[in-house]
């Protein structure tokens, strides 16, 4: 009897254990379901945020809210924006012949082949075009009328902005000027220093990730026959107010105009300012007093970087400080990035040399500043084609000297590139080539 009662008690006890165990299993399953459900809900929320961000980024390809947040997070890598600048881009008759295709079109892509990686890897790239796109038969010096296809190659290479205020802006008159602006816009490039009508600003604001960068350009003019001219051509009255020009004997007016431009830029929230100035004396490897005076004016008004053009040779660069203690980086001349102004034509090898500049902008206190920059010497290579024409190529000098075969260079060309590098170093000074810290 005892054994039987014990068996009953044991059975009853086992039932209780089983019930408790089943209860615990139900609780565990319930909690698991709850957490899985929450995790799925969180994932859906994350996906929705990502989708919303992606939709927003489609509205402006340069707007990246996530990047802006990263610049304020000390634990994340510092965001750097690269702005690349080329010197004079000129198309002479021999370049036009060399770029002509079998279907009577033109292709200048090879001219940029060895530097397009630099341009395309930049957040923004700018070049100086000396000439016009007036239509009809193309021509070189003295009145440059470039094929429209040159703009295609500029765009294909990675250029975004074109400094068009130069001494060859009106080589094809008012009609050529207006057509040039139409073609530049048609190729999705942005002209600087010129405008289509006087109701639009005479400067450009470019926005990257919500940060605004300002650009403006000027070219010199002279008095002629009671009026004003650019390179000996009277400025047509219909476009007189559409080109930013200055007179060396009226720098007070230049100062006033620059002051007005920068005030307008600042009112739009511009954080960093580039100016491109067509100035100086042709073929002189040092800046003159007028350039220094104008650089001072630009610096006092708040310009961060000055990009000089026109002399067709490289000139020195320096940092100047304004009365508020702010530094301005001045490149007096970037030389020729592309042209047929070579030793064979001018008996001057220095016109074959140029500077490609890379500016690294970073963000501090939610404002852009120049952190560092890189000075890259270039040389124009006239490569002989089988049909007797020439292809003019922009060659990054130091890369080419390290691997001449990669650039299809002859022994004579290597000798000339060494000359180019040595002369560039003499003009700029030792230690002024390559990467440089600014702030």
pLDDT over 80 (residue 190): yes
In a domain, 249, yes or no: yes
Identify whether residues 90 and 46 lie together within a single domain: no
Q: What would the pLDDT profile of 306-326 be if each residue is shown by its tens digit?
A: 999 999 999 999 999 999 999
Q: Which of 282, 283, 309 is nearest to 294 (CA)?
A: 309
In a domain, 307, yes or no: yes
Q: Identify the H or E element spanning 377.
A: strand 367-384
Q: pLDDT band at 236, cuts 50/70/90? A: very high
Q: What would the pLDDT profile of 135-147 be if each residue is shown by its tens digit?
A: 999 999 999 999 9
* DSSP label at residue 385: P
What Cα–Cα distance (Å) separates residue 289 from each residue in 116, 279, 284, 389? 35, 11, 13, 41
Q: Which of 338, 351, 266 is nearest to 304 (CA)?
A: 266
- Calpha distance 247→368 (Å, rounded): 32
In a domain, 65, yes or no: no
Identify whether residues 193 and 45 lie together within a single domain: no
Q: Are 206 and 124 in contact (CB under 8 A)?
A: yes
In a domain, 70, yes or no: no
In percent, the amount of the chain with pLDDT more than 70 equals 82
Q: Which of 27, 59, 91 is the last residue of a domain?
A: 59
Strand order in the sheet with 233-234: 222-224, 227-230, 233-234
Q: Which of 31, 59, 87 is the last residue of a domain?
A: 59
Q: pLDDT band at 23, cuts 50/70/90? A: low
Q: Which of 215, 115, 231, 106 is nearest to 177 (CA)?
A: 231
- Calpha distance 72→22 (Å, rounded): 53
- Give 45 or 289, the one with higher predicted confidence: 289
Identify whether residues 82 and 45 lie together within a single domain: no
Strand partners, 391: 383
pLDDT over 50 (residue 163): yes
Q: What would the pLDDT profile of 260-272 be if each residue is shown by its tens digit?
A: 999 999 999 999 9
Identify whether residues 267 and 242 lie together within a single domain: yes
- Calpha distance 113→85 (Å, rounded): 16
pLDDT at 76: 62
Please tell me the number of Cα atoms within 13 Å of 162 on its side-chain side. 30
Q: How many helices (H) and strands (E) does the chain have?
A: 12, 19
Q: What would the pLDDT profile of 42-101 be if each residue is shown by its tens digit?
A: 333 333 322 222 232 332 234 544 444 444 555 666 899 999 999 999 999 999 999 999
In a domain, 88, yes or no: yes
- Give 284 or 365, the one with higher predicted confidence: 284
- Give 219 or 20, the one with higher predicted confidence: 219
pLDDT at 350: 99
Residues contacting 188, CB < 8 A, separation 6+: 155
- Calpha distance 135→92 (Å, rounded): 16
pLDDT at 73: 56
Identify whether residues 244 and 157 lie together within a single domain: yes
- Calpha distance 101→235 (Å, rounded): 35
What Cα–Cα distance (Å) separates residue 121 from each residue in 76, 84, 116, 159, 178? 21, 9, 8, 11, 31
Identify whether residues 337 and 242 lie together within a single domain: yes
Q: pLDDT band at 439, cuts 50/70/90? A: confident
Q: What is the mean pLDDT of residues 275-290?
A: 99
Q: What would the pLDDT profile of 333-363 be if each residue is shown by its tens digit?
A: 999 999 999 999 999 999 999 999 999 999 9
pLDDT at 154: 99
In a domain, 355, yes or no: yes
pLDDT at 20: 47
Q: pLDDT band at 413, cuts 50/70/90? A: very high
Q: Are 373 and 360 in contact (CB under 8 A)?
A: yes
| pTM, entire model | 0.84
Q: What is the mean pLDDT of residues 404-420?
A: 97
Identify whether residues 347 and 238 lie together within a single domain: yes
In a domain, 363, yes or no: yes
Average pLDDT, the chain: 88
Q: pLDDT band at 39, cuts 50/70/90? A: very low
Identify whether residues 350 and 304 lie together within a single domain: yes
In percent, the amount of the chain with pLDDT more than 90 equals 80
Q: Are 361 and 371 in contact (CB under 8 A)?
A: yes
Identify whether residues 193 and 313 lie together within a single domain: yes
pLDDT over 50 (residue 37): no
DSSP E strand stretches across 119-167: 124-129, 161-163
Around Cβ 257, how many Cβ atoms within 10 Å? 17
The CATH number of whichever domain residue 423 belongs to comes to 3.60.21.10
Domain housing 20: 1-59
Identify whether residues 54 and 131 lie together within a single domain: no
pLDDT over 90 (residue 292): yes
Identify whether residues 8 and 104 lie together within a single domain: no
Q: What is the mean pLDDT of residues 390-413?
A: 97
In a domain, 257, yes or no: yes
Identify whether residues 117 and 141 lie together within a single domain: yes
Name the domain count of the chain.
2
Q: Which of 394, 312, 384 is nearest to 346 (CA)?
A: 312
pLDDT at 225: 75
Residues composing the chain:
439
């Amino acid at each position: 009897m005892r054994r039987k009662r014990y068996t009953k008690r044991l059975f009853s006890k086992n039932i209780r254990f089983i019930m408790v165990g089943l209860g615990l299993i139900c609780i565990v399953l319930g909690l698991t379901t709850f957490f899985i459900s929450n995790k799925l809900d969180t994932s859906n929320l994350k996906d929705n945020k990502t989708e919303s961000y992606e939709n927003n980024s489609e509205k402006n390809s340069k707007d990246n809210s996530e990047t802006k947040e990263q610049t304020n997070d000390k634990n994340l890598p510092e965001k750097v924006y690269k702005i690349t600048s080329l010197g004079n881009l000129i198309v002479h008759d021999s370049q036009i012949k060399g770029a002509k295709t079998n279907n009577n079109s033109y292709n200048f892509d090879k001219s940029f082949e060895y530097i397009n990686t630099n341009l395309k890897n930049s957040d923004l790239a700018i070049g100086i075009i000396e000439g016009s796109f007036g239509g009809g038969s193309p021509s070189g010096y003295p009145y440059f009328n470039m094929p429209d296809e040159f703009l295609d190659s500029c765009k294909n290479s990675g250029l975004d902005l074109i400094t068009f205020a130069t001494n060859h802006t009106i080589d094809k008159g008012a009609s050529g000027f207006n057509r040039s602006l139409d073609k530049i816009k048609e190729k999705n490039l942005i002209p600087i220093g010129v405008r289509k009508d006087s109701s639009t600003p005479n400067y450009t604001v470019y926005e990257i990730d919500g940060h605004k960068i300002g650009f403006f350009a000027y070219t010199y003019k002279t008095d002629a026959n009671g009026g004003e001219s650019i390179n000996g051509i009277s400025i047509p009255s219909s476009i007189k107010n559409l080109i930013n020009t200055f007179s060396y004997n009226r720098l007070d007016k230049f100062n006033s105009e620059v002051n007005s431009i920068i005030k307008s830029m600042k009112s739009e929230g511009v954080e960093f300012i580039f100016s491109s100035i067509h100035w100086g004396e042709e073929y002189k490897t040092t800046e003159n007093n007028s350039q220094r005076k104008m650089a001072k004016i630009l610096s006092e008004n708040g310009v961060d970087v000055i990009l000089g053009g026109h002399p067709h040779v490289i000139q020195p660069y320096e940092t100047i400080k304004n009365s508020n203690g702010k530094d301005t980086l001045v490149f007096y001349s970037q030389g020729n990035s592309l042209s047929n102004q070579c030793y064979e034509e001018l008996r001057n090898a220095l016109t074959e040399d140029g500077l490609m500049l890379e500016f690294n902008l970073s963000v501090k206190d939610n404002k852009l500043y120049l952190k560092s920059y890189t000075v890259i010497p270039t040389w124009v290579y006239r490569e002989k084609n089988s049909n007797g024409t020439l292809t003019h190529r922009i060659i990054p000098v130091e890369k080419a000297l390290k691997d001449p075969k990669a650039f299809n260079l002859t022994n004579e060309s290597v000798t000339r590139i060494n000359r180019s590098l040595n002369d560039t170093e003499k003009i700029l000074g030792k230690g002024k080539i390559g990467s440089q810290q600014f702030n």
